Structures are given as structure tokens and as C-alpha cells.
Amino acid sequence: MTNPQVTVVLPTYNWATVLPLSIGSVLDQTFTDFELLVIGDACTDESEQVVTAIDDGRLRWINLATRVRHQAGPNNEGLRQARGDVIAYIGHDDLWLPRHLERLVQAIDEEHVFAHGRLVNVSPDQVPGIRPSSVWAYSRGAWITPTSVAHRREAALAVGGWRLPRHTGTLLSEADLWARLFDKHGAPALVPLVTSVKFPASQRKDVYRQRPSHEQAEWLRRIRDSPDPEHEFLGAFDDVPTPAAGTSARFALRAVRKLRRAGKGLLGYPRGTAEYGYRKLLTFKGVDD
């Protein structure tokens, strides 16, 4: 069997209702030489049944035996089992535009080790906006959502793969991995077009308890109905600020401030670290123990 050029890693935990939409956006890609690994963090809901019901030979379901409680676990398993030379990630509640892989693979084929596209950021009760801006340039420690990133597999393995928040200091795990790739290979290539849609769970209280999928369904319909969603979205939405380098932990700690006002305890983790913010973010999003 010939190995695919790309392995798509989709980490998930107990949100089966949204999986047909994120998976559907991957299967809609114009670039077709990929495998898709949907990797559960010891899922206990109907995720396996939902994934295995999709009839596509490129799709494989993997469920971790032990829960890690962070995407680093499924993502590292994806790196381990990947057959592709290039790794691309998609959040289980996010969507890709049809030319996402085509655009990122082209950038990596042009001698870049990692690359990312621009995205439409969909926040509750706000007008959607595009991130990063057209004049943005990566600096070490900047946060980029994994949904918009692809990188060479061997490069990530060589720098140690994904690390849990307890090992990343003030950077979130994804910002930490990008920083280590940057140290070894320089800045990622930026694809100037919109290639994905992001629905930040960090801004949606109890989203893992409610498990909605209506936003993703509407946006996937919009993507599929457009003859050119890349340019349509660029023309329809304005740029929104991108978190600056070194602000990754503060980005996560917005939820912590909400919990503090609600009287929740903040014991056991050093203030200002990624682990501190991440643990409280789980509570805000409604991720069970």
C-alpha cells in the first residue's frame, strides 16, 4: 500500500454530534492524497459509531485506552501512527474550506517545514472576523490554532512532539510546539487566503455538556454553497486582532477570571502558567472529570 502524502489528525473527546461536520469538511478537500485519523481521548460516547459509519477508506478511528485530558495525547498518537510525511490538524468542532490542504501542502512543498492559513473566527455574539491580519508576521511564542497548521512529521518528532501544559511554562501546548519548530527551522509560511473556520470552545461555556453542532452545520452549508469561499470570506469579514507572542497563557486565562468571579477555587497550579489556565478552562467548557 502506498503511503499518503498527508496525515490529518482530528483529536476528539465526547462530542459526537459535531464529528460528521468536521470530518465532512476534510473529505471535501480538493487535495485527496491523505489519511484521516480521528483519535478519541478515551471517548465514552457514540463517537466511534458515528465515525465508523462514514464510508471512506481514508478514515480511521482510534480511541486511546487512557484519557490524557488534553489534545496533546491524541495528537502525539497521530504523529506516532501517521503514514504521511506531512501532518495537518483539525479541531473536532472546526471546519476546513475545500482548498485548505492544497494550499498548505503547496507551501510546504516550497521548502517550508510548517505553514498555516488564515481563518474566520466565529465568536459568540460577535461579527465573525479574519485572523491573522494580512500584515501579521509570526514571532516566537505566538498562538496559532492547530486547525490552520500543517508541518512535516519528522520535524515535529525531532523536537519532541506535543507536550502537556504542565511542561510548557506560560505557553499553551500548540504555541510551545510552534516555538520549538521555529527555533529549529524558522517561521512558518503564511497562506494569505482564508482556509478554515474556527469556533473557539474557550468562549462557549458548558459547550461539552450541551454538545451543539448548529453553528458548524450552518457554516459548512455556507462553504459548500459558495463557488469560491476563500475569496468570498475575505471580502465579507474584517481582520480581528491576533494574540501576540507571549500571551498564550493569558489567552486561556480569560476563562479563569470568569471562574474567579463565580467563586471557583484556583488551587494546586502556579498562577500565570499554561497548566493553571488550562485546568480552569476545562471547567468553563464543561469537560467532565
Query: Which pLDDT tens digit goes with each residue over 138-192?
Result: 999 999 999 999 999 999 999 999 999 888 888 999 999 999 999 999 999 999 9
Q: Among 95, 81, 102, 82, which Cα is nearest to 24's? A: 95
What are the Cα distances from residue 42, in Å, to 49, 173, 289?
Answer: 14, 20, 12
**Banded pLDDT at 95 (limits 50, 70, 90):** very high
CB contact at 8 A, 38 and 23: yes
Q: What is the mean pLDDT of residues 95-102?
A: 98
Name the E strands within the chain. 6-12, 34-40, 59-63, 86-89, 95-96, 114-121, 129-131, 149-152, 189-198
Given CATH 3.60.9.10, say whether it is the number of domain 6-245.
no
Helix or strand (DSSP H, E) at 236 = helix 229-236
Q: Cell 475575505 appears where? A: 234
d(CA 94, CA 19): 9
Please check the confidence at residue 125 and state whether its pLDDT lies above 50: yes
19 pLDDT higher than 80 = yes
Residue 258 — φ and ψ, nearest 5°?
Answer: -65, -40
- 220 forms beta bridges with none
Q: Which value, in Å, is the radius of gyration of the alpha carbons in the chain? A: 18
Check the CA dihedral 149-154-156-162 and report its sign. positive
User: Can you spell out the DSSP letters for 186-223?
Assistant: -PPEEEEEEEEEE--GGGSTTHHHH---HHHHHHHHHH
The answer to whether the beta carbons of residues 96 and 196 sit under 8 Å apart is: yes
Cα separations (Å) of 93 from 111, 149, 201, 213?
30, 15, 8, 8
Domain edges within the chain: 6-245
Q: What is the pTM of this model?
A: 0.87
- Mean pLDDT for the stretch of residues 9-34: 97
With H, G, I as helix, E, B as strand and everything else as coil, classify residue 92.
coil
